[in-house]
Structure 1
Amino acid sequence: MSSYDHIIIGAGASGLLLADALGRDDFFNDKKILLLDKDTKRKNDRTWCFWEKGEGAFDAIVHKTWPKIYFAGKETALHQAIAPYQYKMLRGVDFYHHYLEKIKGYANVTFRNDEILSVEETAESVRVNGKNESYLGKVVFDSRFDYKKLKEQQKYPVLQQHFLGWFVKTERPVFHIDEATFMDFSIPQKGNTRFMYVLPFSETEALVEYTLFSENVLPREEYEAAIATYLDELKTGPYEIIEVEQGNIPMSSYAFWSESTNKVIKIGIAGGWAKPSTGYAFYNSAKKVEKLVNYLKRGKSVSEFQRKNRFWFYDLLLLDILSRNNSLGQKIFESLFKKRNPQLILKFLGEDTSLFEDVKIIMACPKRPFLGALVKRLF
């Protein structure tokens, strides 16, 4: 049985970013690091989007950027520049290829394909049991996520950000290539929080995605029917579906990190690295990896690595509202985008605002549902 200092389970965004961070830091040169995933990571199985100011660490593999966003509600249609921010998109296959190639250059990092069956923690080490073999590690970083445990708890509401998207090619030029549709709530809400999300790559090519923040997923044909209707309303004419993307991200203020120990540390979505109110996880994961590596280098307890902050509480109030009345999402986001500029909204969603700026965001939201959620949480 092979032994390692650090074992990373899962070669998704958090796993690969962590493997790279450990591999390129001289502090870990004498550490043996193993990255495990059942998949070879050669397919484009997802896309990640984020916003940042100017140039960034991922620009070499960014597939497309947009300097503007579009937001629509029942009474609102806003085409807005977001400078100094840019909205950026990464394709999964480009990210995997880039980081797996980087990891090959680190003498102390090994990548293996294996399906993990169980993880057993003892007083001395952690045994990771794979389908092919077992591995011993001093510290294990585990990105496996189990919805069952999340739904078993009753303290925090659990919604899902679930979506299906078509990469389409149209015969007619209909898309605005410099503008990403951030949220289009003009579609029927049907008692939920539902919007269209569009990332154009050219005037005739785009990812068109039907997204919900709700408790339950839909039959596949309902997502597809909604996208087809939306494309008809855009008057695209005939179109070809090139690829299909489907996903599901948990939305909860549950303390995912409470399941971590000093030897088995949850990372990625399993560690609560996706922002509860939006599901954005990629850029947050990059920041979390940097913080986690610093904790490891300083020998600090990982139990102190992640904790609740005021943004966690803001997210909790929104999820409390949407869990009780899922139809309020459109009203809340439309009020916010009507009253505040997109730069401040993006700064707030990125958890970079000051308390004064937080108040400006809060005052732009409908008061009654948030006051009601606050009172119920406090009393």
Structure 2
Amino acid sequence: MTHYDYIFAGGGCAAFSLIHYLTKSSLKSKNILVIDPQGRSYPSKTWCYWAEKPLEIHPPNQLVQWNQLSFGRGKEKTLLKLKNLTYYHIQASDFFENLRLYFDQLPNIQFSESQVETCQTSSSGFEIITEKGEKFTCDYLFDSRLDTQIFQDGKKILKQQFVGWKIKLDQSFFDAESVTWMDIIPSENGNFSFGYILPYDAKHALVEFTCYSEEEIPYSLLEEKLKNYLSDQLDRISYNIYFEEKGRIPMSTQFKMNSPHPRWINLGTRAGWSRPSTGFTFQFIQEYCQQLVSELESSGTPTLKKMPSRHYFYDNILLNIVKKWPKQLDRLFVNLFTSNSPDHVLRFLQAKTGIWEEISILSKVQFYPFLKSLWHYEKH
């Protein structure tokens, strides 16, 4: 039975990010095993984040960025310029392949293309058995597997459900200087829905249809909604699809973030690192992974990584509106960004603001939806 210092159950963004930062630290010689069934079949995903400059982990040859955000509903459009922040885009396959090529040069990092079957504590730390019958032990277990048991038992979870296509147009159409962050799409069933456009140039873009719902929406229906959205937007311009992504992001503050052992450490969405109100995760992963490495270096005992508790309160206020009064969300989001500096709002969504900044931001928006949600407050 082979023993490792660190074993990663799951090889997603959080696992690769943490390993990257470990290799840049005093722990760079630790023996590491990553167990993930996907191997080099990387997921079809795109990630975005905002910062003053590209993050150090950003693939150097894949820099796509914007400095303007657009909000809309029908023919109404609002264009907002970012001052100090830039909106960055990463293709997941580029991220994984760039790091995997780097890891393959390091003899202390190994990969097992298998599924973790069981994890349990043992006299030597933890014992892991894979579906292939492989047995390993380790001192630290980093777990990023996602299952429904991480949520509050018996409670339906609101999900951000989406389908996105990268398309090539027959003629120029897109404004390559600005991201359509939220283009509200009226929904006949009452769910909050919007379009999202990342233009790479005048003819190429990633276009997504997103819907918030507790019930799972068939991907075929999401694709139909996306097709209709493109038909409305493009006005008979033909397009070809050359990439597809889809997913369901849990929007909940009710994660069971505690693990059965101080050295059994949850990562990523399993650890509640997705912002419940927006689904953005990438930048929280980078921040929390660097904190983990620092604590592993100093004390060997990482602490639970999460946003300040007041931000979960803010998220529950918003999720309450999403669930009970979704038709009020479109005005709320536009009002939030247009009444404040967009840089300040993005920092707020990143949980990087102080309490007085947050009071200033929230004091400028329409109070009624928030007061109603506060009066009917519940956790989601």
| TM-score, with structure 2 as normaliser | 0.91
Counterpart mapping for 1:288-299 below 5 A: 288-299=288-299
Counterpart of 1:150 in structure 2: which amino acid?
A: F
Q: Please give the secondary structure, in 2, of the residue aligned with 1:129.
A: strand
CA distance in 2 between partners of 1:317 and 1:193 (Å)? 16
Q: Does 1:136 align with 2:143?
A: no
Q: Could you tell me how far apart the structure 2 residues matched to 1:319 and 1:61 are? A: 37
Residues 341-377 of structure 1, C-alpha deviation per residue, up to 9 Å, x if partnerless?
3112111111111222201222234323322333444
**Pair 1:79–1:306, CA change in 2 (3 A):** closer
Aligned to 1:191: 190
Give how far 1:164 is off.
Answer: 0.4
> What is the distance in 2 between the residues matched to 1:45 and 1:137?
31
2:268 corresponding residue in structure 1: 268
| Deviation string, structure 1 residues 108-157 (Cα, Å, up to 9, x no partner) | 22222111112122354211111221211111000001124415255xx7
The residue type equivalent to 2:299 in the other structure is G
The equivalent residue for 1:168 is: 167
Q: Does 1:93 align with 2:111?
A: no
**Residue 68 of structure 1 corresponds to which residue in structure 2?**
68
Counterpart residue identity of residue 323, structure 2: S
> What is the aligned partner in structure 2 of residue 10 from structure 1?
10
Cα shift readout 1:158-210 (whole Å, capped 9, x = no counterpart)? 21111001111111211111111111114446411110001111211111100
Q: In 2, Cα distance between the equivalents of 1:306 and 1:23?
A: 23
Query: Hey, what does 1:252 align to over in structure 2?
Result: 252
Counterpart AA for 2:333: F
Superimposed CA distance per residue, residues 242-286 of structure 1 (whole angstroms, 9 cap, x where no aligned partner): 121101111111143224531311100001111111000011100
Shift of 1:327: 3.2
Map Cα deviations across residues 25-76 of structure 1 (whole Å, 9 max, x no partner). 12342x2211121112344511111111134311514342112111113684
Paired with 2:95 and 2:152, the residues of 1 have a C-alpha distance of: 31
3-state DSSP class of the match of 2:139? strand
Aligned to 1:278, the other structure's residue is in SS state coil
Q: Cα gap change, 1:252/1:65 in structure 2, threshold over 3 Å: closer, same or farther?
A: same
Q: Which one has a larger percent helix, Structure 1 or Structure 2?
A: 1
Distance across 1 between alignment mates of 2:239 and 2:301: 54
CA RMSD of aligned residues (A): 2.3
Which amino acid in 1 is paired with 2:145? R
Gaps of 5+ in 2: none
Q: Mark the CA change 1:313 to 1:75 in structure 2 (over 3 Å): closer, same or farther.
A: farther
- Structure 2 equivalent of residue 373 of structure 1: 373
**Post-superposition shift, 1:296?**
1.4
Q: Is the 8 A contact 2:152 2:254 kept in 1?
A: no
1:378–1:267: structure 2 CA closer, same or farther, 3 Å change rule?
closer
The one-letter code sitting in structure 2 at the alignment partner of 1:126 is F
For residue 105 of structure 2, what is the aligned residue in structure 1?
105
2:265 & 2:371 partners in 1: Cα distance? 36
Q: Distance in 2 between matches of 1:367 and 1:86?
A: 29
Equivalent AA in structure 2 for residue 180 of structure 1? V
Which residue in 2 is equivalent to 1:32? 31
Separation (CA, whole Å) in 1 of partners of 2:322 and 2:188: 13
The equivalent of 2:126 in structure 1 is 126
- Check if 1:327 corresponds to 2:327: yes
Give the 3 Å change call, closer, same or farther, for CA 200–307 of structure 1 in structure 2: closer
Please tell me whether the aligned partners of residues 61 and 94 of structure 1 are also in contact (alpha carbons under 8 angstroms).
no
